[in-house]
Amino acid sequence: MISKDRVLTAFARQQPDRVPINYLANPGIDARLKAHFGLSPYDHDGLRDVLGVDFREVRAPYAGRKLHEDISGHQVDNYGVHRRWVKYGSEGYWDFCKFPLKDANEETVANWPMPSPDDFDYSKIASECMKYSNYAVHIGGAGLCDCINSSGYLRSMEQIFIDLITDDPAGLLIMKRRTDINLEITRRTIEAAKGGFDFMWIGEDLGTQNAPILGLDLYRRHIRPINQKFIDLAKAYELPVMIHCCGSCSFAYNDFIEMGVDVVDTLQPEAKDMSPAYLKKTFSDQLAFHGCISTAGPVAFGSEQDVIDNCRETLDIMMPGGGYCFAPTHALQDNSPTENVVAMYEFANKYGIY
């Protein structure tokens, strides 16, 4: 099988020739892996080929003017989200800070500069999809159509939950504006691809490690209708849908099934009701799975043998009958030893064969 067929077979809850493999990583470990394999820092495809990755992403780059100026110590993106660099060991992370719309009213939100779908370059989408035609090419990613995090970056997480509970019009307008913009960008990108996409990847974090982060009633009132718009768009183009959802989120899986979701992503095994055995037993007749290899477990803190044992246990549970894609729970973190990540992918490529 080529990668595209392998992934789509797994998405259809069938058994391919081997388990499809995906890769997501923070910059520090990504750079160390490229150096380990003798690749240039910019050889993203080369690294994925070495690791046996079956997925590729294509997106329309922004081509408009900068809408919000950076300030001292902060990077500010075109939605006005502020990030500052926080050093962590030898690496670091861009942390969110200075929430500019925290106390904004509806009028301020309505006039806040945000990107226009007209300011993206769709001209090379078809050729990029063709370049990766043997792979499973996705539109979107873990942040597409996300409401809570993306709005919280502007409003603060505390305030966005207050907005959801109280139906605050300013907070809900942030969600609506972002949804309208990203839905249209997504539609135009799919059109420009001329059939080159294989699936849509969306996301909405709904869980902590121990419990849901909000109730189903609140999800259904505000978040589900937004997620549904993107799912409906995908289905109009006959694209399967994978949804990223961190933490203990299986409480929402029956809703996902009703909405038309085909694949669930992240699958943090240490979270409540998220163990591979529980997910396989409870949902494998209606959902495919992508994830399960914890970035907070042996890959980060164990030995190479611990990593191999963890990967073997996960594959033994998730492989039978198909419907599983091997991937880290979100992105591999910079505290992961290079040799552990190499062992993880070497083992998946050898042991994941049916």
Q: What is the pLDDT of residues 81-116, one digit of tens each?
A: 999 999 887 788 899 999 999 999 999 999 999 999
pLDDT value at residue 34: 98
> What does the pLDDT look like over 265-296, one tens digit per residue?
999 999 999 999 999 999 999 999 999 999 99
Q: Which of 314, 318, 315, 310 is nearest to 340 (CA)?
A: 310
Give 237's pLDDT tier (boundaries 50, 70, 90): very high
Which pLDDT belongs to residue 329? 97
The 10 Å Cβ neighbour count of residue 63 is 11
- Cα separation, 341 vs 335, in Å, equals 11
Question: What whole-number distance in Å separates Cα of residue 157 and Cα of residue 117?
Answer: 26
Q: Evaluate if residue 220 carries a pLDDT over 90.
A: yes
pLDDT (0 to 100) of residue 92? 86
What does the pLDDT read at residue 342? 98
Q: What is the pLDDT of residues 29-61, one digit of tens each?
A: 999 999 999 999 999 999 999 999 999 999 999
Domain ranges of the chain: 3-67+101-351
The per-residue pLDDT for 88 is 82
Please return the burial class of 228, using the count of CB atoms within 10 Å of its CB with bins 0-12, 13-18 and 19+: middle
Q: What is the pLDDT of residue 91?
A: 82
Cβ atoms 270, 260 nearer than 8 A:
no
Sheet-wide strand order for 241-245? 55-57, 136-140, 199-203, 241-245, 263-266, 288-293, 324-328
Contacts of 235 (CB under 8 A, 6+ apart): 241, 260
Question: What percentage of the chain exceeds 90 in pLDDT?
Answer: 97
> pLDDT (tens digit, 9 = 90+) per residue, 62-87?
999 999 999 988 999 999 999 999 98
Assigned CATH topology for domain 3-67+101-351? TIM Barrel (3.20.20)
What token pair was written down for 144? Answer: 């597409």
pTM: 0.97
Residue 45 CA from chain centroid, whole number: 18
State the average pLDDT over residues 200-210. Answer: 97
Please determine, for residue 181, whether its predicted confidence score (pLDDT) is greater than 80.
yes
| Number of Cβ within a 10 Å radius of residue 102 | 15
The residues with which 286 forms a beta bridge, in sequence order, are: none
